[in-house]
Amino acid sequence: MPGIIKFKTIELTSTFLDPRQKFEQTAEKFQVRFNPLTGRTGHFSHFGAIKPQKLDLQRYNDPEIKGFCPFCDDLKEKLTPKFVKEVIPQGRLSQGEALLVPNLYPYDIYSAVDIMTNDHVVPLECFNDKRLFDSFSVGINFLKTVKAHDPSLPYHIMTWNYMPPSGGGLVHPHQQYFATANPGNQFTDEYKAAEQFYWQYKTDFWSELIKVEKKIDERYIGQIGSSHWLTSFVSLGVLGEIMCVFPKIFCIDDFLDSDTNELIQGLHNVFRYFIKNDIFSFNASLFFGPKGQNFFPAHFRIVPRTFLNIRDFAPDLNFFQALLQEPVSVVIPEELCKAIKELF
Ligand SMILES: [Zn+2]
């Protein structure tokens, strides 16, 4: 079915007299792109103007900066909550270093924090296979347990804020896992649009997207097992967005250890790109749709985050995201794809 996914870009130019060039007339290009599924727009401008800032992560271990951490040492045993026995009979879930506990500040009825490591500061290169596998496994198991306990909450989500530029309140590595009927505007818009796409074209958008992106070969990074990695046509992050689609997985119950391993393998490649490019912080999420549908497969997204500078720690989000609900990116997805592909 050729052409059912449309990649629409508007290229525009702003002209002004440039003080950097003796007030000669100059033209700056920018783009507005339309998400091929939802139609939501994203701006691409200010190309190359935002550079990831190097963070000295070990400083977060200094006592005056570290302050109090409830996830360190034996404090996590004493200070983190336990689940009621109807949900998790043993109170908490653990595997290797990973310890999953209820979120003291829950996002939904079943809301967990997964303390990933014993170490307070974990640079990207120290997330080895075992640490990542134990963390994801314990979280996925929690979501499966919750789904069995209360099937009325249809959506299952993992989120991960890594390091302070991401908005993460604690440096100590942790992920959030929750089941919900209200998964947020982005998820809801994509879910509704994917359902409509399915009924209109009798195929699911994401499988079609993989086929098309593979053929175009501008944003398709590569395949690991049954997972497919690509850069998004419209980036949610200022420094771009990388996505992984699991086209055969439609609900949390379908996600097996082999899928976790594929996710980790791809993530290592992404981390290698981050390390090479001084990226020390990110937001990530893994989404699962409800059981019984076959138009919204599981997908993972990761966006780099940075302070604009480390003089006054300006965040990389501004009025665009906060008030216009419009993503802005300074990185062209096709260039990001090329750079990551070398490391895959
Ligand atoms: Zn800690």
Residues 40, 78, single domain; the answer is no
- Site of tokens 């302050």: 67
Cα of 73 from ligand 1 centre, angstroms: 7
Kindly give the distance from the C-alpha atom of residue 78 to the centroid of ligand 1, in angstroms, as a whole number.
Answer: 14
pLDDT band, residue 278 (cuts 50/70/90): very high
Q: Is residue 2 part of a domain?
A: no
Whole-number Å distance, alpha carbon 72 to ligand 1 midpoint, is: 4
Q: In the prediction, which pLDDT does 1 show?
A: 57
Structural domain span for residue 27: 8-44
| C-beta of residue 190 within 8 angstroms of C-beta of residue 305 | no
pLDDT in tens, 138-148: 999 999 999 99
Cβ atoms of residues 165 and 280 within 8 Å: yes
Say which amino acid occupies 230: L
Q: Is residue 29 part of a domain?
A: yes
In whole angstroms, what is the distance from residue 203 CA to residue 219 CA? 21
Mean pLDDT on 80-85: 97
Domain count of the fold of the chain = 2
Q: How far is the CA of 101 from the centre of ligand 1 (A)?
A: 15
- Residues 78 and 170 reside in one and the same domain: yes
Tell me how far the alpha carbon of residue 86 lies from the centroid of ligand 1, in angstroms.
Answer: 29
CA of 71 to the centre of ligand 1 (A): 5
| Cα 115 to ligand 1 centroid, rounded to whole Å | 9
CA of 66 to the centre of ligand 1 (A): 8
Residues 244 and 275 in one domain: yes
What is the residue-wise DSSP string for 166-178?
A: GT-S-SS-EEEEE
Contact between 28 and 11 (Cβ < 8 Å): no
Distance 67 CA to ligand 1 centre (A): 9
Q: How far is the CA of 13 from the centre of ligand 1 (A)?
A: 48
Q: How far is the CA of 112 from the centre of ligand 1 (A)?
A: 17
pLDDT digits (tens, 9 = 90+) for 147-168: 999 999 999 999 999 999 999 9
Rounded to 10 degrees, what is the CA torsion of 165, 191, 336, 227? 110
> Within a domain: residue 244?
yes
Task: Examine residue 38 and state whether it is found in any structural domain, yes or no.
Answer: yes
Q: pLDDT tens, 13-36?
A: 999 999 999 999 999 999 999 999
Half-sphere exposure for 103 (CA within 13 Å, toward CB): 19
In this structure, are 75 and 40 located in the same domain? no
Q: Specify whether the CB–CB gap between 194 and 295 falls below 8 A.
A: yes
With respect to residue 51, please indicate whether it lies within any of the assigned structural domains. no
Residue 39 structure tokens:
């139609």
| Residue 30 shares a structural domain with residue 150 | no
Q: Tens of pLDDT along 171-228? A: 999 999 999 999 999 999 999 999 999 999 999 999 999 999 999 999 999 999 999 9
Q: What are the tens digits of pLDDT across the range 279-312?
A: 999 999 999 999 999 999 999 999 999 999 888 8
30 and 67, same domain (yes or no): no
Distances (CA, A) of 234 to 23, 35, 128, 293, 318: 33, 6, 30, 25, 18
pLDDT computed for residue 2 by the predictor:
59
User: In angstroms, what is the span from residue 116 Cα to ligand 1's centroid?
Assistant: 10
- In this structure, the answer to whether residues 221 and 115 fall within a common structural domain is yes
Is there a single domain that holds both residue 87 and residue 183? yes
State in Å: Cα 135 to ligand 1 middle.
16
30 and 165 fall within a common domain: no
Q: Residues 280, 168: one domain?
A: yes
Q: How far is the CA of 173 from the centre of ligand 1 (A)?
A: 8
Torsion from C-alpha of 277, 65, 107, 95, nearest 10 degrees: 80
Q: Is the dihedral angle over the CA atoms 173, 317, 158, 343 positive or is it negative? A: negative
Q: What are phi and psi of 231, to 5 degrees?
A: -95, 145
